[in-house]
């Protein structure tokens, strides 16, 4: 009897619940034009939701599912906490109770829209370069809310004589509201076909990479990369407690396991965008990370004592993590401004200079490791091994930064008519070349020994940070397209920590030597 | 850095001793460090002083004053020192360098010598200017963006003979070196940046970006035993006529113009954008170039310049006037040394790669 009651209860609740669409496969691959590029709707949905909330999914809903709700049933998304407002002061200024998770619902913000508009109008009178972080955040929030309401209204503003494609869209909307999976997918498929039939030959080629792009988005290869790199580091830490070979093997295996999705992810991007792997700031993180891990594996091949595994694990994790933070700005598969739109130079100059950056980062990490090993009082042989490895990697760094800087000069000569123009980005690269060359000459002149080289390699890493993002913060010159705000504080904190580390550790090492 | 060659060991010969001192790798280290500091400083300074100002102060100078009174070496001096240091070092350690293990270093440093030479040549022989053309327009003159000249002519026709003097040395009391029997001219006032306020020429503070400055000047013109004041402003498009010795002379202060050994016509210009955005994808000028009877059609777009003898024409920018006509601006660079840095770069890279590969090989063998 009890069983029957439960059965009846379940039966009645399921049969009376509003049916919902669960299958979004065809909906995901509808071609849309956004950010200057034809892309699957899934990519658009993910970047939209990331732009709003900082995540590419909402709760258990995939981005596409949430976008479908926004398009076909906007009222249903009114209470979704999708608007990220980083600064609690803004929430207070708008008269909303600040939330711990910093996310707010459209319903909450709708009531404050007038207030937000007033703030935004006031801020727009301030020149863009002088706006504070909070002011930029207000503009961002305003734009997001406007975009949200535009999208939610996009199919209600339409007039009766709009294009026939809209009829297919109506079918989709109807079957979505009725919760009919099969009809919804069929309508989405018909709509996709209809869109494809009006595309040019060139655009149609892009559609062919959609399955790959969907796979790329769904598989999030770089997250897998980070995970395995972190594992490698954990195995390294564990190896201190027992010297068993198993930890070493697991560590090496983890780095390789992280490297595979890392490479595959980058390759997928190359195929999707039909251009070389590095063209935006986001991609430099991925690529420099890849080079650093590759160099780490090479080091491990020669010197089988964790050195390569640690450098690979740290640089892979940190760089992919930063890349992940960057992807919040929207779709990372971006189109390029005219001057960058050259596959030949992107493939040569940008890849070589970023390889140089990667090598400098690895040499910097090795410098840290040497300093820590010396502090720890490791034997002379271990120290010498690390020292020699650092020298070798610095050699790679010098060669690649020199070549990259000069190929940049040649590119500039080809497109701007001058080889060298003392542009901040050029200067940043030149500083890397100069500092690395300086280290080699100072070592040959016996001005510095292993300690000096390790310190120099660490300083070189600070120079790379300057060349990589620091110069963009000046917002002068021809390379200011990669500008990002809010990085300055992190850079200063990084440099300060590094300086404290260098001074502290070097002092201890020198003291230790004197005592001996 | 390399052990001394015994044939040139330090001895009583003072020349050899000087070369020894000059070849010291401590000099190399100090110079590299100074260059590093200058590059950093010169980058930061661009925010305040603009690219041109920073470039003149830090990179093109031999000395400059830091904080207003401390003399600091400029990049040009440091580079000359490095050049001398490099030559002395190669001279002294030639023997050592020609051993197989160090051949990469030899190639690298010889490449650097070529690099210095290339830099010197490019710095002194290259000249930048630009042409701005609407569709259908043609020209055989390119115009500097920053340098000014004082010019005059007598017949106001298309094929006139123009005499011009570079304005860079103009200052109060300067006698303008026109070789003309009818008149002579002296600079009364010259403003590197100026504007006309209430009909009066007024000096203005300099812009950070030198292209934005508009010069102006007051000149005293002496002819027929009398003097006449002449006020010229760089933004005026029409020349000022003056009657001298029965002829009309037209004077103008204008951007420096260079005759081109060819004529160029803009046939068509197009700007492409990424679909649905205002982000530029490509700018392209279709041009016809001719010198004499031979015509040549070419397309100039981003990363695809047109080369003609020692001239290279690049797509620099475009603009639209208030009637909707599009104008394309092409940068014109005259530089017969432009391949030198390319070669130097390749040589140095080859040397570096070879050196580090040899070193890796040696260390593997010893291992």
Nearest CA in chain B to A343: B303
Q: Are both A247 and A198 inside the same structural domain?
A: no
**Largest Cα–Cα separation, chain B:** 92
pLDDT of A27 higher than 80: yes
Q: Are both A269 and A182 inside the same structural domain?
A: no
Specify the higher pLDDT residue, A323 or A418. A323
Q: Are both A245 and A180 inside the same structural domain?
A: no
* pLDDT at position A480: 46
A410 neighbourhood in chain B, CB within 8 Å: 341-342, 345
Judged by a CB distance cut-off of 8 A, whether residue A393 touches chain B is no
pLDDT of A41 higher than 50: yes
Mean pLDDT confidence for B184-198:
88
List Cα–Cα distances, A470 to A42, A422, B53, B62, B119, in angstroms. Answer: 34, 15, 21, 28, 27
The minimal CB distance from A398 to the residues B126, B342, B352 is found for: B352
List Cα–Cα distances, B178 to B153, B194, B226, in angstroms. Answer: 12, 24, 18
pLDDT of A459 higher than 90: yes
Q: Are both A143 and A165 inside the same structural domain?
A: yes
Residues 91-150 of A with CB under 8 A from B: none
Q: Are both A297 and A344 inside the same structural domain?
A: yes
Please count the residues of chain A. Answer: 516
Judged by a CB distance cut-off of 8 A, whether residue A265 touches chain B is no
Q: Are both A127 and A264 inside the same structural domain?
A: no
pLDDT of B1 higher than 50: no
Q: Which domain holds residue A478?
A: 210-515
A238 CB burial (10 A radius; 0-12, 13-18, 19+): middle
Q: Are both A197 and A217 inside the same structural domain?
A: no
Tally the domains of chain A.
2
Query: B99 pLDDT band (50/70/90 cuts)?
Result: confident
Q: Are both A511 and A374 inside the same structural domain?
A: yes
pLDDT of B289 higher than 80: yes
pLDDT of A16 higher than 50: no
Query: Is B40–A431 a contact, with Cβ atoms under 8 angstroms apart?
Result: yes
Given A174, A206, A238, the domain boundary residue is A206
Per DSSP bridges, beta strands B247-273 and B280-291 are antiparallel
For A214-264, how does the pLDDT look when each residue is reduced to its tens digit (9 = 90+)? 999 888 899 999 999 999 999 999 888 877 788 899 999 999 999 999 999
Judged by a CB distance cut-off of 8 A, whether residue A273 touches chain B is no
Q: What's the gap in Å between the CA of B319 and the closest CA on chain A?
A: 16
Query: Is A413–B277 a contact, with Cβ atoms under 8 angstroms apart?
Result: no
Query: A157 pLDDT band (50/70/90 cuts)?
Result: low
Residue A14 lies in a domain: no
Mutation for A interface: B27, B39, B107, most A CBs within 10 A? B39
> Helix, strand, coil shares of chain A as percentages rounded to 5?
75, 5, 25
* pLDDT at position A310: 93
What ipTM is given for this predicted complex?
Answer: 0.82
Alpha-carbon distance A42 to A26, whole Å?
A: 10
Q: At what angle do helices B75-92 and B14-22 cross, to 10 degrees?
A: 120
* pLDDT at position B6: 46
Judged by a CB distance cut-off of 8 A, whether residue A416 touches chain B is yes
Specify the higher pLDDT residue, A483 or A146. A146
Residue A353 lies in a domain: yes
pLDDT of A485 higher than 80: no
Q: Are both A143 and A80 inside the same structural domain?
A: yes
The minimal CB distance from B305 to the residues A399, A414, A419 is found for: A414
Residue A19 lies in a domain: no
pLDDT of B347 higher than 60: yes
Q: What is the mean pLDDT of chain B?
A: 86
Nearest CA in chain B to A447: B26
Given A206, A233, A265, the domain boundary residue is A206
Mean pLDDT confidence for A468-495:
67
Residue A89 lies in a domain: yes
Nearest CA in chain B to A385: B367
Given A165, A180, A206, the domain boundary residue is A206
Alpha-carbon distance A33 to A41, whole Å?
A: 9
Alpha-carbon distance A441 to A128, whole Å?
A: 44
A439 CB burial (10 A radius; 0-12, 13-18, 19+): buried
* pLDDT at position A338: 66
Residue A13 lies in a domain: no
For A103-129, how does the pLDDT look when each residue is reduced to its tens digit (9 = 90+)? 888 888 888 888 888 888 888 888 776
* pLDDT at position A78: 83
Bridge partners (DSSP) of residue B226 are B223
The 10 Å Cβ neighbour count of residue B52 is 19
List Cα–Cα distances, A469 to A167, A465, A483, in angstroms. Answer: 48, 6, 8
The minimal CB distance from A441 to the residues B28, B128, B281 is found for: B28
A285-289, B298-302, B360-364, range with greatest mean pLDDT: A285-289
Residue A242 lies in a domain: yes
Query: Is B349–A337 a contact, with Cβ atoms under 8 angstroms apart?
Result: no
Alpha-carbon distance B36 to A435, whole Å?
A: 7
Full DSSP string of A268-330: HHHHHHTS-S--SHHHHHHHHHHHHHHHHHHHHHH-TTTHHHHHHHHHHHHHHHHHHHHGGGS
Q: What's the gap in Å between the CA of A271 and the closest CA on chain B?
A: 19
* pLDDT at position A285: 92
Q: What is the mean pLDDT of chain A?
A: 84
Residue A58, helix vs strand vs coil: strand
* pLDDT at position A159: 54
Q: Are both A367 and A444 inside the same structural domain?
A: yes
Mutation for B interface: A333, A393, A413, A421, most B CBs within 10 A? A413
Query: Is B36–A431 a contact, with Cβ atoms under 8 angstroms apart?
Result: yes
For B222-281, how does the pLDDT look when each residue is reduced to its tens digit (9 = 90+)? 888 888 888 889 888 888 888 888 888 889 989 998 888 899 999 999 888 887 777 777
A51-55, A180-184, B40-44, range with greatest mean pLDDT: B40-44
pLDDT of A4 higher than 70: no
For A184-201, how does the pLDDT look when each residue is reduced to its tens digit (9 = 90+)? 888 888 888 888 888 888
The 10 Å Cβ neighbour count of residue A268 is 20
Q: Percent of chain B, pLDDT > 70?
A: 96
* pLDDT at position B180: 81
The minimal CB distance from B363 to the residues A388, A422, A431 is found for: A388
A269-273, B318-322, B360-364, range with greatest mean pLDDT: A269-273
Mean pLDDT confidence for A459-466:
94
Q: Are both A188 and A51 inside the same structural domain?
A: yes
* pLDDT at position A455: 96
Query: A507 pLDDT band (50/70/90 cuts)?
Result: very high
Q: Are both A341 and A196 inside the same structural domain?
A: no
* Cβ atoms of A214 and A28 closer than 8 Å: yes
The minimal CB distance from A434 to the residues B35, B303, B356 is found for: B35
Nearest CA in chain B to A418: B333
The minimal CB distance from B39 to the residues A395, A417, A431 is found for: A431
Judged by a CB distance cut-off of 8 A, whether residue A198 touches chain B is no
Alpha-carbon distance A252 to A241, whole Å?
A: 18
Alpha-carbon distance B300 to A1, whole Å?
A: 86
Q: Where along chain B do its domains lie?
A: 6-125+339-366, 128-139+259-334, 145-258
């Amino acid at each position: 009897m009890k069983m029957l009651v439960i059965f009846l209860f379940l039966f009645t609740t399921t049969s009376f619940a509003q049916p919902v669409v669960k299958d979004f496969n065809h909906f995901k691959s509808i071609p849309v034009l956004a950010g200057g590029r034809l892309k699957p709707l899934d990519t658009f949905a993910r970047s939209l939701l990331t732009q709003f909330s900082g995540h590419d999914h909402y709760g258990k809903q995939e981005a596409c599912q949430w976008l479908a709700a926004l398009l076909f049933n906007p009222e249903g998304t009114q209470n979704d906490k999708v608007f990220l407002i980083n600064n609690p002061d803004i929430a207070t200024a708008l008269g909303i109770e600040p939330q711990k998770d910093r996310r707010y619902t459209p319903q909450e913000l709708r009531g404050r829209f007038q207030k937000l508009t007033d703030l935004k109008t006031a801020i727009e009178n301030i020149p863009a370069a002088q706006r504070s972080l909070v002011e930029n955040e207000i503009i961002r929030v305003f734009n997001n809310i406007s975009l949200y309401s535009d999208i939610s209204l996009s199919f209600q503003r339409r007039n009766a004589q709009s294009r026939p494609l809209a009829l297919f869209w109506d079918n989709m909307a109807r079957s979505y509201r009725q919760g009919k999976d099969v009809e919804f997918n069929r309508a989405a498929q018909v709509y996709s076909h209809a869109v494809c039939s009006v595309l040019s030959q060139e655009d149609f080629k892009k559609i062919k990479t959609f399955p790959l792009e969907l796979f790329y988005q769904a598989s999030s290869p770089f997250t897998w990369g980070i995970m395995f790199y972190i594992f490698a580091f954990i195995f390294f830490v564990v190896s201190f407690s027992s010297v068993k070979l198993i930890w070493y093997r697991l560590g090496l295996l983890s780095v390789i396991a992280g490297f595979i999705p890392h490479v595959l992810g980058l390759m997928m991007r190359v195929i999707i965008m039909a251009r070389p792997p590095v063209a935006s700031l986001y991609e430099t993180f991925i690529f420099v990370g890849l080079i650093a891990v590759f160099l780490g594996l090479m080091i491990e091949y020669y010197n089988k004592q964790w050195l390569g595994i640690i450098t690979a694990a740290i640089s892979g994790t940190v760089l992919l993590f930063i890349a992940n933070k960057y992807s919040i700005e929207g779709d990372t598969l971006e189109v390029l401004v005219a001057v960058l739109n050259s596959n030949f130079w992107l493939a040569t100059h940008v890849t070589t200079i970023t390889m140089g950056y990667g090598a400098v980062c690895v040499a910097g990490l090795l410098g840290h490791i040497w300093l820590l090993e010396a502090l720890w009082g490791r034997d002379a042989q271990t120290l010498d091994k690390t020292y020699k490895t650092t020298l070798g990697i610095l050699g790679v760094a010098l060669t690649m930064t020199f070549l990259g800087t000069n190929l940049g000069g040649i590119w500039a000569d080809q497109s701007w008519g001058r080889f060298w123009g003392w542009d901040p980005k050029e200067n940043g690269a030149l500083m890397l070349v100069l500092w690395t060359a300086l280290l080699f000459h100072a070592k040959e002149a016996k001005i510095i020994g292993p300690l000096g080289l390790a310190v120099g390699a660490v300083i070189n890493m600070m120079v790379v940070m300057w060349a990589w993002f620091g110069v963009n913060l000046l917002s002068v010159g021809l390379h200011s397209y990669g500008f990002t705000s809010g990085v300055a504080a992190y850079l200063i904190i990084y440099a300060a920590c590094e300086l404290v580390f260098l001074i502290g550790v070097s002092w201890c090492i020198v003291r230790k030597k004197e005592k001996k | 850095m390399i052990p001394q060659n015994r044939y040139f060991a330090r001895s009583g010969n003072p020349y050899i001793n000087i070369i020894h001192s000059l070849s010291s790798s401590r000099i190399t280290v100090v110079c590299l460090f100074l260059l590093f500091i200058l590059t950093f400083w010169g980058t930061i300074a661009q925010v305040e002083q603009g690219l041109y100002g920073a470039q003149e102060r830090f990179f093109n100078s031999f000395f400059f004053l830091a904080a207003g009174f401390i003399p600091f070496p400029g990049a040009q001096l440091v580079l000359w020192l490095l050049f001398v240091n490099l030559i002395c070092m190669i001279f002294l350690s030639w023997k050592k360098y020609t051993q197989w293990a160090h051949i990469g270093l030899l190639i690298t440093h010889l490449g650097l010598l070529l690099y210095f030479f290339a830099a010197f040549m490019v710095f002194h022989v290259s000249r930048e200017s630009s042409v701005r053309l609407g569709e259908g327009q043609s020209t055989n003159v390119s115009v500097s963006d920053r340098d000014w000249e004082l010019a005059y002519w007598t017949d106001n026709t298309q094929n006139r003979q123009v005499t011009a003097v570079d304005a860079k040395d103009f200052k109060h009391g300067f006698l303008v070196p026109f070789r003309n029997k009818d008149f002579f001219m002296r600079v009364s006032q010259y403003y590197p940046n100026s504007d006309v306020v209430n009909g009066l020429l007024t000096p203005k503070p300099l812009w950070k970006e030198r292209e934005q400055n508009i010069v102006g000047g007051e000149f005293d013109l002496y002819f027929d035993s009398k003097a006449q004041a002449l006020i010229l402003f760089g933004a005026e498009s029409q020349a000022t006529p003056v009657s001298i010795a029965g002829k009309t002379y037209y004077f103008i202060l204008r951007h420096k113009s260079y005759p081109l050994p060819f004529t160029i016509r803009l046939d068509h210009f197009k700007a492409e954008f990424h679909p649905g955005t205002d982000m530029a994808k490509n700018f392209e000028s279709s041009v016809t170039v001719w010198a004499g009877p031979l015509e040549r059609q070419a397309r100039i777009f981003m990363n695809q310049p047109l080369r003609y003898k020692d001239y290279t024409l690049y797509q620099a920018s475009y603009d639209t006037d208030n009637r909707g006509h599009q104008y394309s601006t092409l940068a014109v660079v005259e530089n017969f040394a432009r391949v030198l840095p390319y070669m130097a770069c390749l040589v140095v890279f080859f040397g570096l790669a070879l050196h580090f590969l040899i070193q890796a090989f040696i260390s593997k063998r010893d291992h």
